[in-house]
Structure 1
Amino acid sequence: MAELPDLTVFAQILTRKYKGEELDKVEVTVEKKLNVPVADLKSALKGQKLLNVIREGKTLQLHFSSDQIVGLHLMLRGELVELNNGKTPRFQVLAFHFKNGSGFSLIDLQKQATPTLQPKPAVAPDALNIDKSVFSALLAKKRTLIKTLLMDQKVIRGIGNSYSDEILYHAGVSPFSIPKAIPSKDVAKIYNSIRTVLEKAIHDIAGANGDKLTGELKDFMNIHSPQLKTTAKGEIIKTAKIGGRTTYYTDAQELFV
């Protein structure tokens, strides 16, 4: 599943490529996840110009003229691909065709990727915008595992399975720690690691992708990778299941319970 860094880079690429382009048509191939009738989506977007693409949590938001917004959640297997030679990509969910002949498509083998017209504003803070005091107060109340908390999109938006491992490894805190048991100095480490890890990943992925809408990249991971057996420091990487998701960690990460 694409997480905050990948989605931030996708938003940057889409903005560079399509900002200012007038929409010729939106093509809906899979209707089941759309929150409005197809006719309403087409009517709302007909002839509108793409003004900007931003990331909101783990979704992309396409901002068109006339205050029209389309949210795209890629879910587990969704991808973005450029349209070429007028051919419809396999597993297409929907596509945006611009009057200059360019366009891009949202595809998903599982057909779970979700487009939303006029998505509701999010309540939970974004991982890159959350205030330190808010973050500290949040952890002080929680008894769930720290990794589970970091992945909870109703609490903090943007972090998923991969980057929760990267953040906690960077901070030196075990994913099995109980948030309210974590000392304030280590809470501060996690908070700082969120920004450090995510911003570095955005920089690395942007450099690798260029203008290509390449899928989720894990080449820059320090711990969350089945190809890695030890960290750069020589620590043995272990795995376990948390919430049904594979977690990568080391015994050097401090456990607070």
Structure 2
Amino acid sequence: MPELPEVESLRDFLDGRLTGERIARVLPLNISVLKTYDPPLGTVEGRTVTAVARYGKWLDLVLDDLHLTIHLARAGWLRWRDEFPAAPPRPGKGPLALRTVLGSGAGFDLTEAGTTKRLAVHLVRDPADVPAIARLGPDPLADDFDRDAFAALLSGEQRQIKGALRDQSLIAGIGNAYSDEILHAAKMSPFKQTRHLGDDEITRLYEALHATLTEAVARSRGVAAGRLKGEKKSGLRVHGRAGEPCPVCGDTIREVSFSDSALQYCPTCQTGGKPLADRRMSRLLK
């Protein structure tokens, strides 16, 4: 799933290619992708993109008083094209979900792999009209998101750190991969309870969060949209690397699997050498 660094890079990529360009056509090719009907999607045709913004993992194409917001979900992606075939694509069961063509002839496709379709496009008058955007917590790379702001967010939480970091209503933009990376950098167990964090641990977690996201954004900046997935994977130290040696200590990276996801961690760096039980309600093995 694209997370804050990849979506920020896509925002930067699109801002340099879309801003000032006129939208000629928008073709929804999968009935599930469009989540709104008023205003009609055809309203964007002939309008000029005035900016490209980001809210957490959401992209926002600003069209004067309208906003075309995009959430790529777990298996979605954006593919830029300098030109398109003359014949329009046929709606079907393939990965192509929506095509946007500019007056210049360039544009982008939204695609989604797999059978579970969660990619979402909303055409709204205000981004806050999208419920998921309205519920977002603060952006962790915002200038005012400092250590004290982070501590204030955690002060009312009573749950595992991993779940808190992934909660979009608490902090916007962090998903499964970067929460693993942040916790590895902070040398903390994903199942440590937020209420047990001391002041020094909050500081360490904040610094790991800020450094991990900032470095990932820097690595992704300037990378073409089609190469962002590979760039993300190459920069991950523990996530998706179960069975490989930890790049810090050399211990074997382990995994905890859940029904629809998995996390990875280093026992030596994060749990005092103790493996975590690989079950949904995982606890440190005694």
Normalization by structure 2: what TM-score?
0.81
- Out of 140, 156, 163, the position equivalent to 1:127 is 140
Number of residue pairs matched? 252
Say which is worse superposed, 50-59 or 242-251, in terms of deviation. Answer: 242-251
Q: Deviations over 1:15-68 (max 9, x none)?
A: 11222111111111123342322871212x121111221221011111123x21
Q: Is the 8 A contact 2:33 2:98 kept in 1?
A: no
Evaluate the alpha carbon distance shift between residue 117 and residue 39 of structure 1 in structure 2; reply closer, same or farther with a 3 A threshold.
closer
Residue pair 1:10, 1:213 contacting (<8 A) in 2 also: no
For residue 196 of structure 1, report the CA deviation from its aligned partner.
Answer: 0.6
Name the aligned partner's letter for residue 28 of structure 1: P
1:249 corresponds, among 265, 274, 279, to 265
Counterpart of 2:73 (choices 72, 75, 87) is 75
Match of 1:158 in 2: 173
Unaligned runs of 5+ in 2: 273-283
Deviations for 1:125-177, whole angstroms, at most 9, x for unmatched residues? Answer: 11222343232122222221100110011211100000001001111111110
1:91 aligns with: 95
Say yes or no: does 1:49 pair with 2:48. Answer: yes
CA 1:204–1:227: 2 relative to 1, 3 Å: farther
Shift of the alpha carbon at 1:106? 0.7
Task: Write the distance in 2 (CA, Å) between the matches of 1:41 and 1:206.
Answer: 30
Asked whether the equivalents of residues 31 and 38 of structure 1 are also in contact (C-alpha less than 8 Å), the reply is: no
1:173 matched to 2:188? The reply is yes
**Which one-letter code corresponds to 1:108 in the other structure?**
E
Residue 21 of structure 2 corresponds to: 21
- Are 2:23 and 1:10 aligned? no
Q: Relative to structure 2, which stretch is displaced further, 96-105 or 125-134?
A: 125-134
Distance 1:205 1:82 in 2: 16
CA offset digits 1:93-139 (Å, max 9, x no partner): 21211111111011113432100112325341112223432321222
Contact 1:79 1:215 in 2 (8 A): no
Residue number in structure 1 paired with 2:227: 214
Structure 1 residues 176 and 243: CA distance shift in structure 2, 3 A? farther
Selected match of 2:202 from 184, 187, 193: 187
User: Superposition RMSD on alpha carbons, in Å?
Assistant: 2.3
C-alpha separation between the residues in 2 aligned to 1:77 and 1:219? 18
Matched residues, percent identical? 27
Residue of structure 2 in register with 1:223 after alignment:
238
Partner secondary structure for residue 40 of structure 2 = helix
Distance 1:186 1:242, change over 3 A: farther
Larger RCO (CA under 8 A, 6+ residues apart): 1
Q: Is the 8 A contact 1:81 1:105 kept in 2?
A: yes
Amino acid of the structure 2 residue aligned with 1:80: L
Residue number in structure 1 paired with 2:58: 59
2:123 aligned with 1:117, yes or no?
Answer: yes
The change in CA–CA distance for 1:203 and 1:228 in structure 2 (over 3 A counts) is: farther
* Residues 181/194 of structure 1: CA separation in 2 closer, same or farther (3 Å cut): same
Answer with 16-25 or 117-126: which moved more. Answer: 117-126
Deviation at 1:223, TM superposition (A): 1.1
Amino acid aligned to 2:256: A
